[in-house]
Every structure is written in C-alpha cells, then in structure tokens.
Amino acid sequence: MATPVSSDPVAASGARTGRLPRSARRRQLLTAAQEVFVANGYHAAAMDDIADRAGVSKPVLYQHFPGKLDLYLALIDQHTEALVNHVTQALAGTTDNKIRVHLATKAYFDFVDGEGEAFRLVFESDLRNEPAVRERVERASQLCMEAIADTIGHDTGVSRSRAELLAVGLTGASEIAARYWLNANRSVPKEEAVGLLSTLLWRGISDFPLEREAENSAQR
C-alpha cells in the first residue's frame, strides 16, 4: 500500500503533484473545489472529495481554508465579481443603447458559457439559505440590475422601482435563456442566440412608453 508514485488512484484533474508552495497549492485547491462544487452542489460535496480531487489529504485543505463555507465563499466571490464586471463593462463600453443590450445579453451568455460551468455556483447554488451566500448572490444581481435600471430610468422617465422591475426582467430573460441554451447543448450558435435574445429585449425596451397609464394610482 502507499507505493510512493505511479499508478495513483488519484482523481481526474489535479492529480498528485508532490509538494507545492502555498500559493500554488491554494490555487489548485480552489480549482478542485470548484469542480466538485459545480458537479455536486455544496451539500453533496464532501471535503474528502475535494481533497481527493486535488490529490491531497483533508487537513491540507484546512491549512488553506478555515472551513467548508469559507472555501465556497471564496469561489462565489470570484465569480459574482466576474459577472458584475462583464455586465458593467458591457454597458460602459458605449452609449448606444441597442449595442448595450446586445453586449449585456452577450455578457450573460459568456458567463454561462465560461470555464467549468462556474456560473452554477452563482445561479444554481444550493446554499442560498446561508445568509452569507444569499447576500453575495443578491448583491451581484442587484448591481447588474441597477446598472441597467439607471439607463432605463434616465431614458424612459418611469419611476425608479418601475425601472428596476423592467431591468430585472431583462437580466432575467438573459440569465434564463442563457442557461437554457447551454442545457440544450447550444442548439443554436451562440452568436445567433445572443442576437435573437437581444433583438427580443431591444424591441421590448427601446422607446418604452413614457409614463401615462401608470398615473392611475398615487404610487411614487
């Protein structure tokens, strides 16, 4: 037993890598953890699984992360930040709203289509009941939505809460459609899928009727 090298029963990706400097090991543990969390979700993922995947024993994991939740949060932070960056940069790159819609939609598709299906950590986490996770995920959606609501509020003159509702509708359409598109094995070429969606959304939001019939109740 425990023959030093060769013919390891080590898992797929990381695969026994001898001793590593701390920072490298940490990165490797994070990618191993991401793979396991994405594949199994938080609850079904055991720390042993993650350690095995990295070709390492469990205590090593605890030398880098104080607990399972912290490990998970590190990944969540990483990817929520990526999503928010994608979306806000899409909006900041131009002032042409049609292009903005296109690029923002594309940002969602790119995020969903990114490395290792990491989007599942954000959009399909099975730990949203944990306040720390909930907060982070909601903050990310909120930031994306607000960036869009700013423009909508400015250009259509609807109240803030109404602009937010419209904005969240747009992000929701992109998110759900992108996830569906991936689940359906990219049944439509990505570029065209983005085109279809952004056409749909741009037709919907451009020249949106300025306040009118919304005046029947005294809501701000």
The footprint of DNA on residues 115-144 (CB under 7 A) is none
Q: 69 or 165: whose CB is closer to a copy of itself?
A: 165
The C-alpha atoms of residue 16 and residue 14 are separated, in whole angstroms, by 6
Binds 210, which of DNA, a copy of itself, none (CB < 5 to 8 A, cut-off by type)?
A: none
Burial grade of 26 (CB within 10 A; 0-12, 13-18, 19 or more):
middle
Residues 18-37, interacting with DNA (CB under 7 A): 18-22, 25
Q: What angle do CA 148, 217, 153 make, to 5 degrees?
A: 15
List of residues contacting a copy of itself (CB under 8 A)? 40-41, 43-44, 124, 126-129, 145, 158, 161-162, 164-166, 168-177, 180-181, 184, 187-189, 192-193, 195-197, 199-205, 208-209, 213-214, 217, 219
Distance CA 164, CA 151 (A): 10
Q: What's the closest the beta carbon of residue 196 comes to a copy of itself, in angstroms?
A: 6
C-beta closer to DNA: residue 63 or 85: 63
Nearer to a copy of itself, 74 or 196 (CB): 196
Minimum Å gap between C-beta 48 and DNA is: 6
User: What token pair was written down for 86?
Assistant: 């994608």
DSSP output for 77-138: HHHHHHHHHHHHHHHHT-S-HHHHHHHHHHHHHHHHTSGGGTHHHHHS-TTTTSHHHHHHHH
Q: Residue 67 Cβ, how far from DNA at the closest point, in Å? A: 3
The helix/strand count (H/E) of the chain reads as 9, 0
Q: Is 100 in the site for DNA (CB under 7 A)?
A: no
Nearer to a copy of itself, 83 or 193 (CB): 193
Q: Provide the minimum distance between the beta carbon of 40 and DNA in the complex, in angstroms, as a whole number.
A: 9
User: Binds 112, which of DNA, a copy of itself, none (CB < 5 to 8 A, cut-off by type)?
Assistant: none
**37 to 76: interface string for DNA, x by CB under 7 A:** -------xxxxx------xxxxxx-xx--xxxx-------
Residue 180 CA from chain centroid, whole number: 14
d(CA 141, CA 88): 12
Q: Token pair for residue 203?
A: 């037709």
Report, in Å, the least distance between residue 62 CB and a copy of itself: 22
Quickly count: other Cβ atoms within 10 Å of residue 117's Cβ. Answer: 15
d(CA 149, CA 154): 8
Residues that bind DNA (CB under 7 A): 2, 17-22, 25, 44-48, 55-60, 62-63, 66-69
